[in-house]
Amino acid sequence: MVEELQRRIIEVYESTIQSVVGVSTIRLVDMLFAQAPVRGWGSGVIVDENLVATNSHVVEGFERVAVSFHDGSASHAEVLAADPQIDIAFLEADTSGHKPAKLGDSGKLKVGQLVIAIGNPFGQVLGGPSLTLGVVSGLGRTLHVWRGGSTRT
């Protein structure tokens, strides 16, 4: 049973890593006598041709955005839309040669189901995507978080 579960997890990872991207950002900050680059990193997923979903906080306030792919290639990206209230952003990038992720239906989730999270927050710096396994612990929850003068749910 454990071997079968491991085999399926490996299959999911291997079929998904082409769709997972690292998102890198740069913003220039004024220092005393010059400007210094501030870098940021996050993960994203190709959801359609030339369309990447990521978190809003990953790209918020940054001037330059790029995505890096599992094969080591990279592309400049433009923020198409971002909603800090639900922490989602969509980027336009050249995803040629990389397939969109096969997305499931979150409405079909049940408490107790195993879920897999695959991310690539540091691009190729750490050697590519990481995987973790978890359990759906609850559904339909609302969490109010105070951040920067607004409530996030």
The pTM assigned to this predicted structure is 0.82
Structural domain boundaries enclosing 34:
2-152
DSSP-derived secondary structure for 34-103: SEEEEEEEEEEEEEETTEEEE-HHHHTT-SEEEEE-TTS-EEEEEEEEEETTTTEEEEEE--TT-PPP--
Report pLDDT digits (tens) over 102-137: 988 889 999 999 999 999 877 656 667 889 999 999
pLDDT in the model for residue 153: 46
Token pair for 111: 């408490």
| pLDDT top residue among 57 and 128 | 57
Whole-angstrom distance, CA of residue 70 vs CA of residue 58: 19
Among 36-40, 57-61, 74-78, 145-149, the range of highest mean pLDDT: 74-78
Instruction: Read off the CATH number of the domain in which 143 is found.
Output: 2.40.10.120
Number of domains in the chain: 1
